[in-house]
Chain A
Amino acid sequence: MTGSMDLPAKGGFDFDLCRRNNMLEKNGLKLPGFLKTGTTIVGLVFQDGVVLGADTRATEGPIVADKNCEKIHFMAPNIYCCGAGTAADTEAVTDMVSSQLQLHRYATGRESRVITALTLLKSHLFRYQGHVSAALVLGGVDCTGPHLHTVYPHGSTDTLPFATMGSGSLAAMSVFESRFKEGLTREEGIELVSDAIRAGIFNDLGSGSNVDVCVITKGKTEYLRNHQLPNPRTYASSKGFSFTKGQTEVLSTKIIPLKQKVEVAEGGDAMEE
């Protein structure tokens, strides 16, 4: 096997297998496809804070791998991030920056700022020159007010009052461009975001299933998971398939009872000096 097993890796990427994989690719082996989130993600700033929205479909080529995945990732109690692109990259990058923000909070003793998360994300993505394929919509409310940013896979960022990313971004942007105005109320903001995501869900093939919404205001964050379910599963028959026992031909059976793990409570006497 390649690689040593002595020490766990120090962290970061490991390029051990690249040469082997290049050789395999030259011999005709196609790399398996990655899970992508062909997505619609949106964000907008309303009068008290930020509303983020995302669809919930994860695709693997033309097949829907996950009908209800979570694309709004936690970064800090007051900062959330929606991710589009390669699913592993968005998850890894947001988890990593979230941990870094937590350490920073412990070190400084203060609430995290959105601009901190933004700088951490953009510098990581720029270092990998776009190969870490994560397009993000980052939003949050900190002591300086509500902020909304978009981060592109190559590391460029934009600061906007409303933003959309992903394959369904055009459909969602059309909804925003026609109905966005400054100073929306919370209900109007949620409705506009849901409408934009629904536009992406119904008009873009890479987005689908349900609408997730996250509302961030000063001091309070509400994650409305599956806020709307415009694609319920009504086509399944209530009877379903029923298989009688013995329908499958069994060649051999082995039943292994699991040993009960006995918890031994030591004595009961506390250690007294």
Chain B
Amino acid sequence: MVGKNCFAIASDRRLGVQLQTIATDFQRVFKIHDKLYIGLSGLATDAQTLWVFRILDSFWYQRLVFRHKLYQLREERDMKPETFASLVSALLYEKRFGPYFCQPVIAGLGDNDEPFICTMDCIGAKELAKDFVVSGTASESLYGACESMYKPNMEPEELFETISQALQASVDRDCLSGWGGYVLIV
């Protein structure tokens, strides 16, 4: 979610296989650099999912950190969020006919601390937004909750409350998510 010169990115903490919970403190939001974060949700749209592969795809972020570090070495600066979003989109589209099962949410502060958020489907179709982006199993109720709770130009404190309430409200209505949330405000 975008606020005034800040952004917030939040995820739930449950990791599960079908209806069985494996972990209740699973980290899904990863840091690329100080002002750029990516959240990876593995989609579980039905019954039998082989959790090993879903988790491996969540660790795909290590590949992204690798690419960013290469970029830092060459350019001697951090990647802009727009550039990073294009990178992730290209990497996902390469696997167009055998995709990774993850939907990333990218949030960062660009030039002049201008917040940038975007999400992508599993083959890299970028979706930029000026207010909020959502992904995951509870995405439908997240759309609804964010649509009603979001206000433009919120300060970090209020942004935190809003995003937590939206996340908790949606996740309460989804069996596959839960166990609280991690919220990062930059």
Contacts and interface: CB of A to CB of B under 8 A. Distances in A.
- A-B complex is real: yes
Interface of A: 1, 5, 8-9, 12-21, 24, 27-35, 58, 60, 63-66, 69, 86-89, 91-92, 131-132, 236, 240-245, 247-248, 251, 258-259
B121 A20 contact: no
A241 B99 CA distance: 39
B121 A92 contact: no
A251 B129 contact: no
Interface residues of B, number: 55
In the A-B complex, the 3 residue pairs with the smallest Cβ-Cβ separation, listed nearest first, are A18-B98, A87-B125, A243-B161
29 contacts: A1-B59, A17-B99, A18-B98, A20-B98, A28-B47, A28-B49, A29-B46, A29-B49, A31-B99, A33-B45, A35-B125, A35-B127, A65-B127, A66-B129, A69-B127, A86-B123, A88-B96, A89-B123, A91-B126, A92-B96, A236-B148, A240-B148, A240-B149, A243-B158, A243-B165, A247-B161, A248-B160, A251-B180, A258-B34
Nearest to B31: A256
B177 interface: no
A89 B96 contact: yes
Contact of A16 (B35, B89, B95): B95
Contacts of A86: 123, 125
A58 to B, nearest CB: 7
Interface of B: 34-35, 43, 45-50, 53, 56, 59-60, 62-63, 66-67, 89, 92-101, 103, 120-127, 129, 139-140, 143, 148-151, 157-158, 160-162, 164-165, 168, 180, 186
Contacts of B127: 35, 58, 65-66, 69, 87
A28 B51 CA distance: 12
Nearest to B162: A243
B121 A88 contact: yes
A14 to B, nearest CB: 4
A27 B48 contact: yes
Contact of A63 (B94, B96, B139): B139
A28 B18 CA distance: 12
Contact of B50 (A27, A58, A242): A27
B165 A247 contact: yes
Contact of A24 (B53, B60, B67, B124): B53
A30 B45 contact: yes
A98 to B, nearest CB: 14
Contacts of A248: 160-161, 164-165, 168
Contacts of A34: 121-123, 125
B35 A258 contact: yes
